[in-house]
Amino acid sequence: MTSVTPAHATQDFITASDAHSAHNYHPLPVVVATAEGAWMTDVEGRRYLDMLAGYSALNFGHGNRRLIDAAKAQLERVTLTSRAFHHDRFAEFCTQLAELCGKDMVLPMNTGAEAVETAVKTARKWGYRVKGVPDGRARIVVASDNFHGRTTTIVSFSTDPEARADFGPYTPGFDIVPYGDLDALRAAVTDETVAVLLEPIQGEAGVLVPPPGYLAGVRELTRERGVLFIADEIQSGLGRTGRTFACEHEGVVPDVYVLGKALGGGVVPVSAVVADRDVLGVFRPGEHGSTFGGNPLACAVALEVVAMLRSGEFQQHATELGEHLHAELGLLVGTGKVSAVRGRGLWAGVDIDPALGTGREISEKLMARGVLVKDTHGSTIRIAPPLVISKEDLDWGLDQLRAVLGA
């Protein structure tokens, strides 16, 4: 049923990849060779507009000059020390990132899942040492349809059967409530609750924006009950929604930010937990760590990311083009082609009429027209181009979507 027939060279790469890699992904049949800005070129020279941006890891575009230059300069100096020694980019990185977040301290890791794990450990330790929860009793409230990563503990509190099945036994200590339901959250918080862990906008679930007032309500409730509010801004943060953090749309400052993806500028994996001293100060040497976390190359790139975010230009561009994106997508709602559009800034989940195809089929048809997107569940596709995309390119991408939908 696919409209895409991979040409020979492409098929050779795909066959070789299928033969020697675990089949834990089902990529679109495109083999990328080079990329620049919002565009990727495949092994046969075809160009594609990247409307996924590495799930927001590429907010600043492919091959961003400032980030590549920062990485190259650092490559020539020192790349890895491990945390056994100090290095001269570390303090600057932690200081600048903490300042961007308005917090005291940073605990750097590499991938998003590691940062979420770090936040879970932070909350538990804080619960025992600061809040006074009896040993082994700490609980964390999370939302249904969450996506926080793929480790055994994280999939333990997933509600996605595909992500969980066959990976038990599961880590206990998590309570799951419906996303966006403040009353359910209130009912789930007990004296043993140490944290509420939420995505301010649920990305993998289909770019679900919670009802107005929800995040502010979570903030108020957690403050009242002496519970940490942990915002997983790995996908929603760092400019994607038109603000540095998606929580800002409700004027909310969580206790703990969990950051990843774009923090590494699409160059290296960089993640971090950022919080005040009364929270992150619970760690002592030897209690947590990572060989690569906070390495010089990661710090150099992430420092440049922080400097770029400080200017506000990416947030501004995401706000302006995001308004345009949502206005255009909004016109498709009610045409019989699209049932709903959600999102903020340069981030949209588009529910397509299932009669027109699955999300996968729509993605393949878009690919055939030179646009790369990713389906989520059912007939929903996700649009999240690099924040450096031009209005002309965005409009061209939207033209292709309209053509695929017959709109």
Ligand X SMILES: Cc1ncc(COP(=O)(O)O)c(C=O)c1O
* Residue (35 or 113) nearer to ligand X, CB: 113
Tell me which residues touch ligand X (CB under 6 A). 55, 111-113, 116, 147-149, 199, 203-204, 232, 234-235, 260
For the bound state, the minimum distance from the C-beta of residue 249 to ligand X, rounded and expressed in Å, comes to 16
For the bound state, the minimum distance from the C-beta of residue 327 to ligand X, rounded and expressed in Å, comes to 26
Out of 103, 125, 261, 374, the active site residue is: 261
Q: Cα 15 to chain center, whole Å?
A: 30
Out of 42, 232, 351, 375, the active site residue is: 232
57 contacts 264 by C-beta, under 8 angstroms: yes
Residue with tokens 């009912």: 187
What Rg, from alpha-carbon coordinates, does the chain have?
Answer: 21
* Residue (2 or 171) nearer to ligand X, CB: 171
Gap between the Cα atoms of 132 and 319, Å rounded: 43
User: Can you tell me whether residue 318 is helix, strand or coil?
Assistant: helix
| Number of residue whose CB is nearest ligand X | 112
* Residue (204 or 393) nearer to ligand X, CB: 204
CA distances from 397 to 50, 51, 235, 366, 402 (A): 9, 8, 22, 9, 9
Residue with tokens 């789930």: 188
What is residue 341's DSSP assignment?
E
For the bound state, the minimum distance from the C-beta of residue 154 to ligand X, rounded and expressed in Å, comes to 8
Gap between the Cα atoms of 350 and 231, Å rounded: 24
For the bound state, the minimum distance from the C-beta of residue 55 to ligand X, rounded and expressed in Å, comes to 5
Q: Is residue 157 annotated as part of the catalytic site, yes or no?
A: no
* Residue (204 or 255) nearer to ligand X, CB: 204
For the bound state, the minimum distance from the C-beta of residue 305 to ligand X, rounded and expressed in Å, comes to 15
Q: Is residue 232 annotated as part of the catalytic site, yes or no?
A: yes
> Sheet harboring 47-50: ordered strands across?
32-36, 39-42, 47-50, 371-372
* Residue (55 or 93) nearer to ligand X, CB: 55
CA distances from 398 to 355, 380, 404 (A): 20, 16, 10
10 Å CB burial of residue 186 (0-12, 13-18, 19+) is: middle
Q: Is residue 93 annotated as part of the catalytic site, yes or no?
A: no
* Residue (218 or 398) nearer to ligand X, CB: 218
Out of 90, 93, 147, 174, the active site residue is: 147
For the bound state, the minimum distance from the C-beta of residue 184 to ligand X, rounded and expressed in Å, comes to 20
What is residue 171's DSSP assignment?
P
374 contacts 52 by C-beta, under 8 angstroms: yes
CA distances from 363 to 46, 51, 117, 257 (A): 16, 11, 32, 32
Catalytic residue numbers read 147, 232, 261
